[in-house]
Amino acid sequence: MSEATPILSSLGLAKAFKGPDGVVRVLESVDLTVAPGESVSIRGESGAGKTTLLYLISALETPDRGELHWDGVNVMKKSASWRARRRGDFMGFVFQAYYLIPELNALENVLIARRLVGKVTPADRQRATELLERVGLKERLRHTGQQLSGGERQRVALARALINRPRLILADEPTGNLDEHTGDEVMDLLLNLTNEEQTALVLVTHNPTFAERTHRHLFLKAGEMQV
């Protein structure tokens, strides 16, 4: 694909859910384009559909209508198994809740993402170690998730998201469980690492200061994307 091809593009994505009082229309018609290496922030009120949008653009949920392309490929025309395989090395995820396996140490948690797409090689172990060192966890490689602070767990999650050299990172309120100082440090790492690796970033955040640090700033309201 040409570098002019968007790494991610959606057109008219819509999603509704059945609730106890009827159908709840969460997203009406969302258009979103992200260029290779670009960072984009998305803000919106609680319940605006930000997390739902991330599930749609990662193809973890199927839209009611609309188109989705990853690196120019129409994802909805591919099989579920193709989407699952492609997702593993095409994108990485950083969640508010970390989702580390508590019994595994930091290095093993990072390598889990590698195991999902293939055999772990010595080069993979070296990259995982280097990523953990880059996020400031050189002395914590053998510490389990239970032995790490919240900020340290999120640093492990950052390294895990980057281990497969993804083209795109999706980050859903990655500092939501952290205190202000630790949140600032984690956001610095997220933005700096994605910039260094030339990885595109879609950041969902309530924090206007964090949002302003991305290349573009969008707002999700009434089921549609606004500049």
Chain segment 31-56, per-residue pLDDT in tens:
999 999 999 999 999 889 999 999 99
CA angle 100, 116, 138 (to 5 degrees): 45
Q: What's the pTM?
A: 0.94
Query: What is the radius of gyration, based on Cα positions, of the chain?
Result: 17
**What average pLDDT does this structure show over 75-99?**
94
Residue 104, φ and ψ in degrees, nearest 5: -90, 150
Under 8 Å between Cβ of 134 and 107: no
Helix (H) or strand (E) holding 169: strand 168-172
Q: Is 49 within the bounds of a domain? A: yes
Question: Is residue 2 domain-resident?
Answer: no
User: Is 62 a domain residue?
Assistant: yes
DSSP 3-state of 141: coil
Does residue 109 lie within any of the structural domains?
A: yes
Mean pLDDT of all residues belonging to the chain? 94
User: Has residue 134 been placed in a domain?
Assistant: yes
* pLDDT, average across residues 60-69: 96
Say yes or no to pLDDT of 93 above 80: yes
Exposed / middle / buried, residue 53 (Cβ in 10 Å: 0-12, 13-18, 19+)? buried
- pLDDT above 70 covers a percentage of the chain that reads 99
**Is pLDDT at 1 greater than 50 in this prediction?**
no
Q: Are 132 and 193 in contact (CB under 8 A)?
A: no
**Overall domain count for the chain:** 1
Cα distances (angstroms) measured from residue 4 to each of 72, 95, 104, 135, 181: 10, 29, 40, 31, 38
pLDDT in tens, 15-26: 999 988 889 899
* CATH number for the domain harbouring residue 48: 3.40.50.300
Residue 25, classed as helix, strand or coil, is: strand
Say if residue 185's pLDDT is above 50.
yes
Residue 2 has pLDDT above 80, yes or no: no
Q: Which amino acid, residue 155?
A: R
Return the bridge partners of 23, or none.
Answer: 18
Tell me, yes or no, whether 189 lies in a domain. yes
Asked, for residue 1, whether it belongs to a domain, the answer is: no
Residue 106 lies in a domain: yes
Please give the residue range of the domain that contains residue 33: 8-226
> Given a cut of 60, is residue 106 above it in pLDDT?
yes
